[in-house]
Structure 1
Amino acid sequence: MWRFAGLIIVIAFLLSGREPAAIPDFAPPVQGGMQLTGTFGELRGNHFHAGLDIRGAVGRPVYAVADGFVARIVVKGGGYGQALYLDHPSGHTSLYGHLDRFREDIATFVKRRQYDLESFELDEELNPAHFPVRQGDLIGYIGKRGFAFGPHLHFELRDRETQDPLNPMSFGLDVADTRPPFVEAIRLYELDERGNPLRGESQQVRRLASHRYTTAEDTLWVNGPSFGLAVKAYDQQNSLNNWNGIYQMALRQDDSLRFAFAFERYGFDKTRYLNAHLDFEEQQQGSWFHRCFRLPGNQLKFYRPSEDGGRLQLAPGEASRVTIEISDKAGNQCTVEAVVKRRARPLTPIYEQAYVYQLPYDEESVIDNGSFRAHFAPFTFYEDLYFQYTLVPEKSAGIYSAVHQLHDHLTPVHRYFDLQIRPNEIAPALRKKAIIAYCADGNNPYSFGGEWTSENRLRARVRALGNYSIMVDTIGPRIRPERWSGNMRGWEQFSFRISDNFPTAGDARDLRFRAEVDGTWILMEYDAKTARLYHVFDGIISRGEHRLKLTVTDDRENTTLWEGTFVL
């Protein structure tokens, strides 16, 4: 297995045109064995998982995997929360995310920089002399900061030059695994001549043995000459029953390899193409299918080169046996087989869609009806889009334009596109509070912000299809004391919850906050997933009576002030 992993690395470097570095000897970032709750390349919302999620209780020590130095420190309320980036002589970067705390000297440095900058958020690049490390040195402790919904270490290995994430399990960081992946279902798609899916239908599978599956129906039928498949599959390691991601897949038609991929490395600039790799509409409804064919606008580089991109062909009346092989990093494999046959004469008419505009995926498109304007750059979509549009006159209070129904929210959008909406009557005093509001499938609206153009249109960059209109945000954020008292003698911290009436997206800014005690800035830490804002007493605030002033500001510059007196 080690030789096979090494071969993959060498081939990847040769294809990239760069000389491969020697495969380094990385040590595990935790002691006592690794249990994985997430694997490299797993399908996540709008991105592939860039590393390993290693289970552990809050406070479990984390160690440097190789000699090097701390090259970057990031602190933020979302994302990886508290994270360390270590650079290594081998040409790699290791990342340790969701840390509860850093080791003492790093933590002291971080707090000093936060007070110097008067900012909770920090993104600091360091030179090698600041914090050199040896393999096995303590660097921090496992936590659940940032967007982590349970304590774990998010661990990555990257190519230091490109920052492309690499599969850590190709560098000797293995876990015990003798269990093959398993299959939940497959999907069958009919495709047009450009490879655009016309329709898809899920097919149940039945298990023949621990590692073999077939479809519940003996034969799957298609009407046209071209079709594709997708598979819903997961993997498990020996020590946990988590449904983790698969490592690789190969599609064969009558024993001929037609499509394959393996999760070894990718570029962060390509990670959103996950929405083309999977069936986005199914994912939005809770099912995660790997496509075994390439959508026309999918620019991921880890697929096996193929002229037809996994699009399979059948003549009228012809049948073929299709096999999907799914493997994990330890080499365990399962297969699912299906017999697919093309009808001699289609039972249904040629598939047609009602649409208002046709948007080729690889061409620039502009829609302007006077009331709204949308500009789509080439490759905004992954396939040709038969775009549906409806203008709904709106008289509801709080909405200052028609509602523009742009297709539907189940269609993925890769690139931001420029959207402009003309308002109905809006008072001059409200113009600076106006926002492009987005609503999908009856959910609460959120704000993409916006600025006015010389043509009296509100303009914003957006990256979703659904219902858009102009609304105004005149309401300040909400500040709710969570843990607060006038007498906090003996307390370890105080805390608040902050929220706003409009969640933000695109260029709209998140909530900003500032806290002062007796007129001097103090550090308030923020957990974005719970909207919790808190201060840990650390000796900076002296004993006695003090006054706290907390301000929170939203994207439209609405500000809320909270003040209170306390004794420490």
Structure 2
Amino acid sequence: MKYSIIIFLSALSLCSSQNPYPRDYFIYPIKDPIILSGTFAELRSNHFHAGIDIKTGGVEGLKVVSSADGYVSRIKISERGYGKALYITHPNGFTSVYAHLQKFCPEIENYVKKKQYQNQKFEIQLFPSVNLLKFKKGEIIGYSGNTGGSSGPHLHFEIRDKNEKPVNPMLFGIEAKDTSKPSIHGLFVYPIENNSNINGYTTRVQIDIKKNASGDYISELINAKGEIGFGIISNDQLDYASNKNGLTSIVTTYEGVEHLKINFDKFSFYESKHINRYIDYEYYRNNNNRIQKLYIEQNNPLSIFKFEKNKGLINIVKKKVSLFEIKISDFAGNTTNLKIPIKFTEFDVKNKNENRKNSKKIYYDQDTHLKAESVDIFIKKNSLYEDLYLNFKFENDILNLHNTFVPLKKPISLCFNLDGYDQTKLDKLFIGKILNNGTVVYCQTSLKKNKLFANTRDFGKFKIVIDKEKPKIEIKNLNKVNAVIDGRYLKFKIFDDKSGIKNYLGTINGKWILMEHDPKTNILMHDLKDGIASKQENNLKLLVTDKVGNISKFETIFYIK
């Protein structure tokens, strides 16, 4: 009996260590079975995806329920990002997050609107007290939407631990059906040292792979020498959806010995931005596709690496055929294997001499100040991932700062001297970044003592732009004949072609009104049910300001039905 108890407790301990997360605590936040458009830790632009995206059939307004008992600990409303988002803290220490909501349930909606009117602003962040907004598991807390940075109607759902680290909701039993093996679409090999080469090349090489009947892959024979690393383009696809989703784990072995293990169960928001060190950033900028590098480069702080031998790299020195293997898995346990035969081969190759004209070596662990005519560039230490020969020049009023293929670890600072500019119009100038298609986008700019300052998270091309144009305002639903507003909402379209919209201020009969702005559509709305407008004549005033201070004013008389 004694030994039976010991065995039982040992088994219980083993199960607990395999998955420390309760699988029967949380329920689906929306009607199930769920279909996902996005999975946890998917590779996104400048970040890993922190939750799961649940499809809502292309519509808004589906009921969203509390996934477990808890209280609303945080409410955040923003034009971008998560849009209208709720954070519910649960007795077990975890917090569930519901983002891109169309609206909240009446109890929360009334609380939020009261605070918005008190603070006279739409974008707001609130931290209600523990006993103010409590909800039981399954109670309606809001309705699905498309607010914030969402590109289509869906519910973004997260579960975070007590340290605010997002954890894969599937570990808690919030799963979607997945019966397919993940796919590998590309294999790449990287020479690491000066004497390394692959098939006679000293740069990244793509290797042909072939899929067999079982869904696994084998590559062509690689002839290589020296230290090399691998990268793959891969994805998973869940049932009932056409979206290409992320993986749960990647394991590599060389000659049967594990070399690297990557697990996407959990990460911190702080490290998420370092995704650009994990992927082949140059390839991504050129091809809009992400290679996951299966080795750890210098100054890569990601915690997704659970095991590494020699940073995941292998050294080809023996004159025999060896075998490197890659195993990728999705959450449902579907796995795909790729076998890569490698033969040591000597090649007579010469490394290319890099053209370093107009370049300066920057050390990643040192502060650097560069000057290009009227522009100063400040690079603080640890803004780069590694030492870099940086190209820069100022020509035809444009700062060409290296290229967009190299990721930055931290923002760097630019300073443009304004000597020679019309001193009466300095406040209408800003620093703009020139995109590949020629479009110029506003960089957050400040004016100090005849100089413009801005920080940038990317290398690229920059110039000074003058914006003397006022924002545009169009009212969308005012009957021009009788001045009656058509419908429940006052609707405007506001836009600015250069620096962009900074803020807006609306009043009815001299009273501040709450207005909701959607940057995706440029629509600005006020809900007439807020009760500010009267049944009689109403005087509406709207001021819209762009990011350099140009102001447009709209004023009219209107009536409501």
Q: TM-score, normalised by structure 2?
A: 0.90
Match of 1:435 among 430, 454, 467: 430
Q: CA deviation at 1:163?
A: 0.9
Equivalent residue, structure 2, for 1:35: 35
Instruction: Go from structure 1 to structure 2 and tell me whether the alpha carbon gap of 1:185 and 1:442 turns closer, same or farther (over 3 Å shift).
Output: same
C-alpha contact (below 8 Å) 2:477/2:486 kept by paired residues = no
Corresponding residue for residue 488 of structure 1:
484
Which residue of the partner structure matches residue 4 of structure 2?
Answer: none
Deviation of 1:249 (Å)? 0.6
Correspondent of 1:546 among 517, 533, 538: 538
Deviates further, 253-262 or 200-209 = 200-209
The letter for the 1-side match of 2:141 is I
Task: Tell me by how many angstroms 1:204 deviates.
Answer: 4.0
Instruction: Give the letter for the 1:7 counterpart.
Output: S
3-state secondary structure, aligned to 2:115: helix
Give distance in 1, aligned partners of 2:100 and 2:426: 40
| CA distance 1:5–1:133, shift in 2 (3 Å) | farther
Aligned-residue identity in percent: 27
- The amino acid that maps onto 1:59 is G
Paired residues of 1:193 and 1:226 also in contact (CA < 8 A): no
Closer/same/farther in 2, CA of residues 115 and 344 from structure 1, 3 Å limit: same
The partner residue of 2:64 within 62, 65, 73 is 62
Report which stretch shifted further, 263-272 or 445-454. Answer: 445-454
Find the counterpart in structure 1 of residue 324 from structure 2. Answer: 322
2:9 corresponds in structure 1 to none
Q: Is the 8 A contact 1:22 1:90 kept in 2?
A: no
1:120-519 equivalent positions in 2, closer than 5 A: 120-160=122-162, 162-192=163-193, 199-215=203-219, 218-222=220-224, 225-284=226-285, 285-306=287-308, 308-315=310-317, 319-347=321-349, 349-355=350-356, 356-392=359-395, 394=396, 402-423=397-418, 425-452=420-447, 456-486=450-480, 487-488=483-484, 491-502=487-498, 511-519=502-510
Contact in 2 for aligned 1:225/1:313 (Cα 8 Å): yes
SS at match of 1:114: helix
Per-residue deviation, 1:136: 1.3
Confirm or deny: 8 A CA contact 2:474 2:492 kept in the other structure. Answer: yes
Q: 1:211 to 1:105 in 2, by over 3 A?
A: same
Q: Does 1:566 align with 2:555?
A: no
Q: Answer whether contact 1:225 1:316 (CA < 8 A) is retained.
A: no
Which 10-residue stretch deviates more, 289-298 or 479-488?
A: 479-488
Distance 2:100 2:551 in 1: 30
How much does 1:51 deviate? Answer: 0.3
The 1:5/1:193 distance shift into structure 2, 3 A limit, reads: farther
Of the three residues 17, 32, 36, the one matched with 1:7 is 17
| 307 and 382 in structure 1: CA distance in 2 versus 1, 3 angstrom threshold | farther
Deviation at 1:453, TM superposition (A): 5.0
Q: Assess, with a 3 A threshold, how the Cα gap between structure 1 residues 545 and 340 changes in structure 2: closer, same or farther.
A: farther
Q: Provide closer, same or farther for how the CA distance between residues 381 and 193 of structure 1 changes in structure 2, counting only shifts above 3 A.
A: farther
Using the TM superposition, give the Cα deviation of residue 61 of structure 1 relative to its aligned residue in structure 2, in angstroms: 1.1
Q: 2:517 aligns with which of 519, 526, 532?
A: 526
- Quick one: distance in 1 between partners of 2:76 and 2:157? 14
In terms of mean alpha carbon deviation, does 302-311 or 229-238 score higher?
302-311
Q: Is the 8 A contact 1:423 1:470 kept in 2?
A: no
User: What's the CA shift string for 1:167-205, capped at 9, x where partnerless?
Assistant: 11111212222211111112222223799x973233343
Deviations 1:295-354 (A, max 9, x none): 21211112024352222211275643221111011111011222234531233x113322
Greater CA drift, 162-171 or 475-484: 475-484
Q: Which residue of 2 aligns with 1:18?
A: none
Aligned length: 537
CA distance in 2, matches of 1:203, 1:543: 72
5+ long unaligned stretches in structure 2: 1-11
5+ long unaligned stretches in structure 1: 11-20, 395-401, 505-509
Q: How has the CA–CA distance of structure 1 residues 539 and 359 changed in structure 2, closer, same or farther, with 3 Å as cutoff?
A: closer
Q: Is the 8 A contact 2:61 2:144 kept in 1?
A: yes
How far 1:240 sits from its partner (Å)? Answer: 2.0
Higher mean displacement: 33-42 or 229-238: 229-238
Take 1:424 and 1:307, find their aligned partners in 2: how far apart are those partners? Answer: 55
TM superposition shift of 1:66: 1.2
Cα offset, 1:373, TM superposition: 2.1
Residue 442 (structure 1) shift: 4.0
Q: Which residue of structure 2 aligns with residue 111 of structure 1?
A: 113
- Using a 3 Å threshold, how does the CA distance of structure 1 residues 102 and 194 change in structure 2: closer, same or farther? farther
Q: Specify whether residues 483 and 379 from structure 1 end up closer, same or farther in structure 2 by C-alpha distance, changes over 3 A only.
A: farther
Contact 2:478 2:485 in 1 (8 A): no
Structure 1 position 148, deviation (Å)? 1.5
Q: Residues 74 and 81 of structure 1 are in contact (CA less than 8 Å); yes or no, is this contact kept in structure 2?
A: yes
Secondary structure of 1:98's counterpart equals: strand
* 1:372 CA drift (Å): 2.4
Moved more, 122-131 or 371-380: 371-380
Counterpart secondary structure, 1:186:
strand
Q: Distance in 2 between matches of 1:433 and 1:503?
A: 9
Contact 1:316 1:343 in 2 (8 A): no
Residues 31 and 150 from structure 1, CA distance in 2 versus in 1: closer, same or farther, beyond 3 angstroms? same
How big is the shift at 1:122? 1.5
Contact 2:279 2:290 in 1 (8 A): yes
Instruction: Identify which range, 313-322 or 278-287, moves more after superposition.
Output: 313-322
Moved more, 522-531 or 353-362: 353-362
Query: For residues 13 and 496 of structure 2, what CA distance do their matches in structure 1 show?
Result: 54
- Relative to the length of structure 1, the TM-score reads 0.89
Shift of 1:22: 6.6
